[in-house]
């Protein structure tokens, strides 16, 4: 039997141009073996022309494979509804693997309804029969019939985490200037017998470079992080210690005047730590001051008027921001020997949020935290600090928009213009700390504190011309982008 390189040449001779992915299917071989055969052909001369190509395809996720086996969530919910109806709480127990999502979809599809006419609300069928289109589409994808599913439907299933899009790299092969159906090995070693017999030798390439030495490369994030840090130091800031990824709810939320019923404290937004689940690493005297601030308010405010619970404060979380570090540093400065003195702090470190991943969001990212505490500073000082900071980075297109934060008033979102995406993207949040946060920490009433939290990833995307944050960090990063990155950027 012919080896793979010769089979490839024979196929090109008979059929012309071909994609290596199609060749793998025709030959019944692994695609990497076909690519290896192509490399072997290229090493012997210009027998073929090889052009890189990419092909997008769809495949089922674990959720999609479960639907393929058991049917869609909405269909399972519909089947679980008897003719005489069922209470919604019971339906959630017997409506399949994901009854909450199935119930929502079944309602929007008009398959079921909530009947409140007979006293206790019941979920009833609105139609007699249904067609499980999701299951049909999933079967089509599993059978390789991607064209049978509309693009819009595939995008919706991607959001529902039923499908995922994969990109496969391949090569388009065609005949080259020296095309032949057999490989002729060119000799590289010289002997007397070869000279006498007239062997054809492989040409010497005197311009060939030697093997590059192995070396480490700095990731673009680390380069911009170093740049950020140097700018802050030049502006007179001191770096805060941020060596604790796990933070108590007290420092992460309560000390920042975030109410205990705030949506940010739900599991869909925050990662809670199961072991150790609780923490008591905060000053007990500060606990009472924070409790009073939440329940009754300070400095003329009325607080949130709810019963503040210590157990909620003790829960450990993966920190959702590094602002808790700022609060801890302000408490330390306010209680230092000699009393309060003006300070300027910054930090750059990882934070974690239970985010839906997309082109500009990750579940793990870097926050650039800054805080300035001094007498008489205002929102104008905050804007001036941003303008000076980003101008040093070469980013001049900035916008500020008012927003709401539980612990700052007034508050601003900072936007930078992304030339690649051709739109403004949010790079951070900022504002002036509220008295309800500062007074419990012991900061004098005459002192104002301006603070901000910026993204490290999004300014890096702008500076490096990247449109998708997943090309910068995460499992899909092309290491060649890191290895070939410039030592420095010349922004002319």
Q: Read off the tokens for 343.
A: 């300070």
Would you tell me the crossing angle of helices 133-142 and 62-70 to the nearest 10 degrees? 120
Residue in the structure block whose two tokens are 């900061």: 443
pLDDT in tens, 32-81: 899 998 988 888 888 899 999 888 888 899 888 989 988 899 898 899 88
pTM: 0.56
Q: What is the pLDDT of residue 202?
A: 64
Higher pLDDT, 487 or 280: 280
Q: Are 87 and 122 in contact (CB under 8 A)?
A: yes
CATH code for 62-160? Answer: 1.10.10.2330
CATH architecture of 220-484: 2-Layer Sandwich (3.30)
User: Is it the case that residue 492 has pLDDT exceeding 50?
Assistant: no
Q: Are 166 and 59 in contact (CB under 8 A)?
A: yes
Kindly indicate the confidence band of residue 353, based on its pLDDT and cuts at 50, 70 and 90: confident
User: Is it the case that residue 265 has pLDDT exceeding 80?
Assistant: no
d(CA 178, CA 58): 38
d(CA 289, CA 280): 16
List alpha helices for 318-454, DSSP H.
Answer: 323-334, 379-393, 435-441
Report the candidate in 265, 429, 224 with the shortest Cα–Cα distance to residue 353.
265
d(CA 248, CA 317): 6
User: Is it the case that residue 433 has pLDDT exceeding 90?
Assistant: yes
Q: What is the pLDDT of residue 325?
A: 92
What secondary structure letter does DSSP report for 315?
B
Higher pLDDT, 362 or 34: 34
What secondary structure letter does DSSP report for 203?
P
Kindly indicate the confidence band of residue 397, based on its pLDDT and cuts at 50, 70 and 90: confident
Q: Are 488 and 356 in contact (CB under 8 A)?
A: no
Most confident of 245-254, 347-356, 394-403: 245-254
d(CA 92, CA 150): 31
Report the candidate in 121, 111, 115 with the shortest Cα–Cα distance to residue 79.
111
Same fold for the domain at 1-58+162-209 and the one at 220-484?
Answer: no
User: Is it the case that residue 360 has pLDDT exceeding 70?
Assistant: no
Kindly indicate the confidence band of residue 119, based on its pLDDT and cuts at 50, 70 and 90: confident
The helix/strand/coil state of 177 is coil
Q: What is the pLDDT of residue 1?
A: 42
Among 138-142, 192-196, 287-291, 338-342, name the one with the lowest average pLDDT.
192-196
Domains of the chain, by residue range, sit at 1-58+162-209, 62-160, 220-484
pLDDT in tens, 210-258: 777 777 788 888 888 998 999 999 999 999 998 889 999 999 999 999 9
Per cent of the chain over pLDDT 70 is 94
User: Is it the case that residue 188 has pLDDT exceeding 80?
Assistant: no
Kindly indicate the confidence band of residue 424, based on its pLDDT and cuts at 50, 70 and 90: confident
Q: What is the pLDDT of residue 201?
A: 63
Q: What is the pLDDT of residue 200?
A: 64
Per cent of the chain over pLDDT 90 is 29
Residue 447 β-bridge partners: 375
Q: What is the pLDDT of residue 256?
A: 92
User: Is it the case that residue 488 has pLDDT exceeding 60?
Assistant: no
Indicate the fold that domain 1-58+162-209 takes in CATH.
Ribosomal Protein S8; Chain: A, domain 1 (3.30.1370)
Q: What is the pLDDT of residue 55?
A: 81
Residues 6+ apart with CB under 8 A from 72: 102, 105, 132, 134, 135, 138
What are the start-end ranges of the E strands in 143-300?
A: 163-175, 238-239, 246-248
Kindly indicate the confidence band of residue 268, based on its pLDDT and cuts at 50, 70 and 90: low
d(CA 70, CA 78): 13
Q: What is the pLDDT of residue 211?
A: 79
What secondary structure letter does DSSP report for 171?
E
Mean per-residue pLDDT, 423-427: 83
d(CA 249, CA 289): 16
Say if residue 276 is preceded by a cis peptide, omega within 30 of 0: yes
Q: What is the pLDDT of residue 199?
A: 63
Give me the chain's average pLDDT, please: 86
Report the candidate in 63, 108, 101, 99 with the shortest Cα–Cα distance to residue 81.
99
pLDDT in tens, 153-183: 888 888 888 998 888 888 999 998 888 888 7
Q: State the maximum Cα–Cα separation within the chain, in Å, rounded to a whole number.
A: 105
Q: What is the pLDDT of residue 332?
A: 93
Q: How would DSSP label each residue in 139-170?
A: HHHHTT-GGGS-HHHHHHHHHTTSEEEEEEEE
Instruction: Compute CA distances 264 → 74, 261, 270, 353, 406, whole Å.
Output: 29, 9, 7, 9, 11
Kindly indicate the confidence band of residue 381, based on its pLDDT and cuts at 50, 70 and 90: very high
């Amino acid at each position: 039997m012919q080896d793979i390189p010769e089979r490839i040449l024979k196929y090109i001779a008979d059929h012309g141009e071909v994609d290596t992915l199609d060749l793998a299917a025709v030959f019944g071989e692994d695609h990497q073996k076909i690519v290896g055969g192509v490399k072997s052909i290229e090493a012997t001369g210009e027998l073929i022309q090889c052009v890189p190509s990419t092909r997008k395809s769809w495949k089922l996720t674990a959720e999609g494979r479960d639907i393929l086996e058991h049917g869609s969530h909405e269909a399972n919910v519909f089947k679980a509804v008897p003719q005489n109806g069922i209470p919604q709480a019971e339906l959630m127990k017997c409506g399949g693997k994901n009854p909450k999502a199935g119930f929502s979809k079944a309602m929007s599809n008009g398959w079921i309804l909530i009947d409140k006419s007979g006293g206790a609300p019941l979920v009833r069928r609105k139609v007699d029969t249904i067609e499980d289109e999701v299951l049909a589409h999933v079967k089509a994808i599993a059978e390789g019939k991607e064209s049978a599913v509309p693009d819009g439907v595939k995008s919706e299933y991607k959001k529902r985490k039923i499908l995922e899009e994969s990109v496969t790299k391949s090569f388009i092969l065609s005949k080259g200037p020296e095309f032949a159906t057999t490989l002729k090995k060119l000799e590289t070693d010289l002997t007397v017998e070869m000279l006498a017999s007239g062997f054809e030798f492989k040409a010497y390439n005197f311009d060939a470079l030697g093997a590059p030495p192995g070396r480490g490369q700095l990731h673009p994030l680390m380069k911009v992080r170093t740049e950020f840090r140097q700018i802050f130091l030049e502006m007179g800031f001191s770096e805060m210690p941020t060596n604790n990824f796990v933070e108590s709810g007290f420092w992460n939320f309560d000390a920042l005047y975030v109410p205990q019923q705030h949506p940010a404290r739900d599991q869909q937004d925050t990662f809670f730590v199961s072991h150790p689940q609780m923490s008591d690493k905060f000053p007990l005297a500060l606990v009472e001051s924070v409790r009073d601030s939440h329940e009754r308010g300070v400095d003329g405010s009325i607080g949130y008027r709810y019963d503040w619970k210590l157990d909620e404060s003790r829960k450990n979380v993966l920190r959702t921001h590094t602002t808790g570090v700022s609060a801890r540093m302000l408490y330390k400065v306010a209680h230092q020997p000699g009393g309060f003195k003006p300070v300027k702090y910054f930090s750059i470190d990882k934070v974690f949020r239970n985010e839906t991943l997309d082109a500009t969001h990750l579940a793990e990212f870097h926050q650039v935290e800054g805080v300035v505490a001094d007498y008489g500073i205002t929102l104008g000082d905050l804007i001036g600090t941003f303008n000076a900071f980003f101008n040093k980075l070469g980013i001049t297109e900035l916008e500020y928009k008012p927003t709401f934060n539980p612990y700052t008033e007034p508050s601003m979102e900072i936007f930078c213009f992304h030339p690649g995406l051709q739109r403004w993207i949010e790079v951070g949040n900022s504002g002036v700390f509220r008295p309800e946060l500062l007074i419990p920490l012991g900061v004098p009433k005459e002192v104002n504190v301006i603070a901000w939290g910026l993204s490290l990833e999004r300014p890096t995307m702008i500076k490096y011309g990247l449109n998708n944050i997943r090309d910068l960090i995460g499992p899909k990063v092309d290491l060649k982008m890191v290895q070939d990155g410039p030592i420095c950027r010349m922004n002319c």
